[in-house]
Structure 1
Amino acid sequence: HQPRPDDVSKRRMDVYNDLLFNAIEGGVSFCFPITKEILSEDHWNAMIRDFFIVHRCQKHAYREVPGEFLDYLLHERSDHPEDPVFLRQFMHYEWVELALSISQEVITMDGIRAEGDLLEEHPVISPLAWVLSYDFAVHKISKEFQPQQEEQEKTFLIVYRDRDDEMGFMETNATTARLLDILEEDHTLTGRQALRMIAEEMQHPEPEVVIQGGWKILTDLLQRDIILGTR
């Protein structure tokens, strides 16, 4: 936080600070509209001012401001008793939509069979599909619903951008999240092999039931462009 230069009047510096604050607040509120609605105006403005003072931005493009704010929130903001217990995770969830919408990743179908066999070949996951897990039902949080403690079970979501650049959100479960994780980790596995691993981890007495159920899940993910095809 640099002192005011001697050749700049206090009034001029105040005008500059107000302009800068308003620009930052506008960029942050655009990405986090529900958070702004949930918090009181004083709480929201105090948080923006704390970011303004504490954080040194690494990226200066206007559209990068929300990501810088999230970095401040996750790594630099000290504990504030008035902050909702879900604040950090919920603001991450709000940020994801913007981050995916401006991602420079592109979907390419080179070497991918759009109508390949999801069980006998390797299902290819879109680079624009993010599997997320939270301790709160972040997709339900609103002015009316604000949890006071973590849920007993984690919430799993897939946020994605399809080939038409349309955004999509899908609530899923730990098993589907694990399946996508396995496929992402080992690109040599077929869908059947990955699902058999799931069945073994679950100690399921009938692996074929898991495989057939998994095939239906993979088919649904294919229709949403979360899975692009097979290789």
Structure 2
Amino acid sequence: MHQAQREMAAYLRDPEGLAPPAGIEERRLQIYRDLVYRNIEGFISSAFPILRSLYDEKAWEARVRAFIQTHHCKTPLFLRISEEYLTFLQAMPAGELRPFEAELAHYEWLELAVDVARGQVPPLWTSDPEENLSDVVASLATTARLGSYVYPVHRIGSSFQPESAGDPAYLLVYRDRDNRVQFMELSPGSARLIQEVRDGGDNSVAELLHRLAIEWGMSSDQLQGFGWTQLKEFNEAGIIALSIPTV
């Protein structure tokens, strides 16, 4: 029984390269072939609509079938198929994709990742505006993701397909307070602030801003006012959680 299932699965992954299992009529095989392809193609197309728009029907089908034939998914969850397809693209040899495709796919995947991310948008910060920043901790919301790209992936479409990399693009994808997915382009400085919040662990806001001030050749006093204002703006948008840990 298990051997027959493995043979059927192998055939459905590569129906043009393998002989069909014995004893199954062609009509049923066609139904199974269509179901496998349509289901997987549907998930990929819905997760990567801009990427899909850059292919004609024949080229897109060839790409999806190559994914089905050669990529061994590590999860049976349909919602993870888009992540598996992203992994498939990122592993492809240079020259088999347009130079921006893997980054574009990652940017589009972030939208789905944020949409299904567990957790809630962090609460609004309502404490005294003169709060001691050594007592306040900032953390990136579980409903927010930061992407850094060498191509302007947020502008790519059928009429704009860059052939070479340019200035880095920093793009934040997050759920707002109405639980809608939103996109924000960041300056390099704002992106670095988000990175420090994301990677800084349990350090206080004062420590976080002090590290950035040293990195940027500024005094802590110079950066503290601006940095704290921006952190509160990110909190208002639902991107960053601000809290005072209890002892």
Instruction: Return the offset for 1:225.
Output: 0.8
The 8 Å contact of residues 124 and 236 in structure 2, kept in 1 or not, is answered as no
Q: Which runs of 5+ in 1 are unaligned?
A: none
The 8 Å contact of residues 118 and 218 in structure 1, kept in 2 or not, is answered as no
What corresponds to 2:126 in structure 1? 115
Overall identity of the aligned pairs, in %: 28
Aligned equivalent of 1:135, options 150, 157, 172:
150
Instruction: Return the offset for 1:56.
Output: 1.9
Taking the TM superposition and a 5 Å limit, the aligned residue runs for 1:168-187 are 168-187=182-201
Cα root mean square deviation, aligned: 2.3
Give a deviation string over 1:34-55, Cα, whole Å, max 9, x none. 1111122222111001011111
Instruction: Return the offset for 1:216.
Output: 2.3
Gap change, CA 1:18 and 1:157, over 3 Å in 2: same
TM-score (norm 1): 0.86
What corresponds to 2:5 in structure 1? none
Structure number, greater radius of gyration: 2
Give the letter aligned to residue 160 of structure 1. Answer: Y
The CA distance in 2 between the partners of 1:94 and 1:63, in whole Å, is 14
Corresponding residue pairs, total? 224
What corresponds to 1:166 in structure 2? 180
* SS at structure 1 position matched to 2:159: coil
Aligned equivalent of 2:164, options 149, 158, 165:
149
Q: Which runs of 5+ in 2 are unaligned?
A: 1-9, 12-17
Give a deviation string over 1:151-187, Cα, whole Å, max 9, x none. 1x21111111234322121111332232233333344
Aligned equivalent of 2:29, options 7, 13, 34:
13
The CA distance in 1 between the partners of 2:132 and 2:185, in whole Å, is 21
Aligned equivalent of 1:102, options 116, 123, 127:
116
The CA distance in 2 between the partners of 1:16 and 1:61, in whole Å, is 19
* SS at structure 2 position matched to 1:56: coil
The CA distance in 1 between the partners of 2:53 and 2:197, in whole Å, is 39
What corresponds to 1:227 in structure 2? 240
The CA distance in 2 between the partners of 1:14 and 1:79, in whole Å, is 34
The 8 Å contact of residues 118 and 191 in structure 1, kept in 2 or not, is answered as no
The 8 Å contact of residues 107 and 163 in structure 1, kept in 2 or not, is answered as no
TM-score (norm 2): 0.81
Instruction: Return the offset for 1:79.
Output: 4.2
